[in-house]
Structure 1
Amino acid sequence: MEGYDLKADATLPSVVVPPTARRKTRVMSIFSMLAYLLAGLYIIYSVQYKRTTRPAVERELHRAEPDFDWLSLTPSEDINWTPCFSEYKCARIILPLDYLSPPGVGPNVTIALQLLPAADKENYRGTILINPGGPGGAGTDLIKRRGKDIARISGGSYDVLGFDPRGTGASTPSAQCFDSQSQLDIWGIQAGAQLLNLTDGSVGMARARERVVGQMCEKALGGNGREDLNGTVEEWGAGRFMSTASVATDMLKITEKLGEEKLKYWGFSYGSVLGQYFAAMYPDKVGRLIIDGVYDAYNYRATLWNTNLVDTDAVWASFHNFCYEAGPEQCPLYESSPADVQDRVTAIINGLTADPRAIPFAPGGPLVLTKKTLHNFAFRAAYSPVINYPPLADILLAVEQDNQTALAAAAPKLGGGVQCKCEQSLPWLMDTEAFYAIACGDGDPITYSDEDYAEWFSHLSETSEFAAPIWGFEYLRCSEWRIRPKWRYMGPLAAEKTANPVLIVSPTYDTVCPLTDARAVHARYAGSGLLVQNSYGHCSLAAPSLCTAKHIRAYYENGTIPEEGTVCEVDELPFIGQVGGEKIAAMSVEDRELLESLRAMAEEVPTFGHF
Structure 2
Amino acid sequence: MKKLIVAIIVIWALVIAAGATVAVVLVTGDDNDDSSADQDSTSEAPSDTQSESSTPPDTGEVPAGLESFYGQQIAWESCGSNQCGTLEVPVDYAEPTGETIDIALEMAPATGDRIGSLVVNPGGPGAPGTSTAEEADGYFGQELRARYDIVGFDPRGTGDSSPVDCLTDADLDAYIAADPDPDDRREERDVVAHQEEFWSGCEEKTGDLAAHVSTIEVARDMDVLRAALGEQKLPYFGFSYGTRLGATYAEIFPANVGRFVLDGAVDPSLPTLEGSLSQAEGFETALRAYLEDCVDGGDCFLGDTVDEGLQTIDDLLADIDAEPLPTNEERDLTVGNAFYGLVLPLYSKDNWSILDTALEEALAGDGSTLLFLSDFYGSRENGEYVDNSLEAISVINCLDDPWSISAEEVPDYFDEFEEASPTFGRVFAWSLVTCHGTPFETTEPAIEIDGSGAAPIVVIGTTRDPATPYQEAVAMAEQLESGVLLSRDGDGHTAYNRGNACIDDAVHAYLIDGTVPADGKEC
Shorter-chain TM-score range: 0.7 to 0.9
SS at match of 1:315: helix
Report the more deviating stretch, 299-308 or 433-442: 299-308
Kept after mapping to 1: 8 A contact 2:117/2:235: yes
What residue number does 2:333 align with?
369
Shift of 1:401: 2.9
1:320 to 288, 291, 308: 291
What residue number does 1:454 align with?
411
Paired with 1:165 and 1:447, the residues of 2 have a C-alpha distance of 28
Superposed, which structure 2 residues align to 1:205-604 within 5 Å?
205-222=190-207, 237-300=208-271, 305-327=276-298, 333=301, 336-354=304-322, 356-359=324-327, 362=328, 364-365=329-330, 367-387=331-351, 389-402=352-365, 407-408=367-368, 412-413=372-373, 429=387, 433-446=391-404, 448=406, 450-451=408-409, 453-488=410-445, 490-498=446-454, 500-541=455-496, 543-568=498-523
Shift of 1:188: 1.9
SS at match of 1:176: coil
Shift of 1:99: 1.1
Paired with 2:359 and 2:404, the residues of 1 have a C-alpha distance of 38
Kept after mapping to 1: 8 A contact 2:341/2:370: no
Paired with 2:370 and 2:305, the residues of 1 have a C-alpha distance of 28
Kept after mapping to 2: 8 A contact 1:501/1:528: yes
Length, aligned pairs only:
467
Tell whether 2:134 aligns with 1:177.
no
Paired with 2:254 and 2:272, the residues of 1 have a C-alpha distance of 19
Superposed, which structure 2 residues align to 1:27-38 within 5 Å?
38=2
Kept after mapping to 2: 8 A contact 1:327/1:334: no
Paired with 2:417 and 2:138, the residues of 1 have a C-alpha distance of 39
Shift of 1:459: 2.0
Shift of 1:240: 1.8
Kept after mapping to 2: 8 A contact 1:293/1:539: yes
SS at match of 1:434: helix
Describe the shift of the 1:466–1:487 C-alpha distance in structure 2 as closer, same or farther (beyond 3 A).
same
TM-score, normalised with respect to structure 1: 0.69
Shift of 1:351: 4.1
SS at match of 2:247: helix
Tell whether 2:85 aligns with 1:100.
no
Paired with 1:238 and 1:195, the residues of 2 have a C-alpha distance of 29
SS at match of 1:251: helix
Tell whether 2:112 aligns with 1:117.
no
Report the RMSD for the aligned CA atoms in angstroms.
3.1
Kept after mapping to 2: 8 A contact 1:386/1:542: no
Paired with 1:137 and 1:517, the residues of 2 have a C-alpha distance of 21
Which residues of structure 2 form unaligned runs of 5+? 18-70
Shift of 1:115: 0.5
SS at match of 1:373: helix
SS at match of 2:413: helix
Kept after mapping to 1: 8 A contact 2:302/2:312: no
User: Which one-letter code corresponds to 2:140 in the other structure?
Assistant: I
Kept after mapping to 1: 8 A contact 2:121/2:238: yes
Kept after mapping to 2: 8 A contact 1:155/1:553: no
CA-to-aligned-CA distance 1:191-241 (integer Å, 9 cap, x gap): 65533147655343212201111011122333xxxxxxxxxxxxxx21121
User: Which one-letter code corresponds to 2:420 in the other structure?
Assistant: T
SS at match of 2:487: strand
Shift of 1:326: 3.1
Kept after mapping to 2: 8 A contact 1:118/1:151: no
Tell whether 2:56 aligns with 1:88.
no
Shift of 1:493: 0.9
Paired with 1:206 and 1:400, the residues of 2 have a C-alpha distance of 28
Describe the shift of the 1:192–1:91 C-alpha distance in structure 2 as closer, same or farther (beyond 3 A).
closer
CA-to-aligned-CA distance 1:96-125 (integer Å, 9 cap, x gap): 111112x4x10111011111111222xx32
Paired with 1:154 and 1:99, the residues of 2 have a C-alpha distance of 33
Describe the shift of the 1:473–1:137 C-alpha distance in structure 2 as closer, same or farther (beyond 3 A).
farther
User: Which one-letter code corresponds to 1:174 in the other structure?
Assistant: P
CA-to-aligned-CA distance 1:450-482 (integer Å, 9 cap, x gap): 23x333343222211222343345322211212
Describe the shift of the 1:176–1:248 C-alpha distance in structure 2 as closer, same or farther (beyond 3 A).
same
Paired with 1:257 and 1:401, the residues of 2 have a C-alpha distance of 56
Paired with 1:464 and 1:137, the residues of 2 have a C-alpha distance of 26
What residue number does 1:204 align with?
189
TM-score, normalised with respect to structure 2: 0.80
SS at match of 2:505: helix
SS at match of 2:277: coil
Tell whether 2:129 aligns with 1:139.
yes
* Identity value in percent: 23
Kept after mapping to 1: 8 A contact 2:337/2:371: no
Shift of 1:528: 1.6
User: Which one-letter code corresponds to 1:471 in the other structure?
Assistant: F
Describe the shift of the 1:558–1:475 C-alpha distance in structure 2 as closer, same or farther (beyond 3 A).
same
Paired with 1:191 and 1:214, the residues of 2 have a C-alpha distance of 16
Describe the shift of the 1:82–1:193 C-alpha distance in structure 2 as closer, same or farther (beyond 3 A).
closer
Paired with 2:119 and 2:482, the residues of 1 have a C-alpha distance of 22
Describe the shift of the 1:454–1:304 C-alpha distance in structure 2 as closer, same or farther (beyond 3 A).
farther
SS at match of 2:280: coil
2:117 to 127, 131, 134: 127
Which residues of structure 1 form unaligned runs of 5+? 1-36, 54-75, 223-236, 569-611
User: Which one-letter code corresponds to 1:202 in the other structure?
Assistant: E
Kept after mapping to 2: 8 A contact 1:302/1:444: no
CA-to-aligned-CA distance 1:483-513 (integer Å, 9 cap, x gap): 112224x232113331x10000010011121
CA-to-aligned-CA distance 1:520-551 (integer Å, 9 cap, x gap): 11111123211111112222259431211111
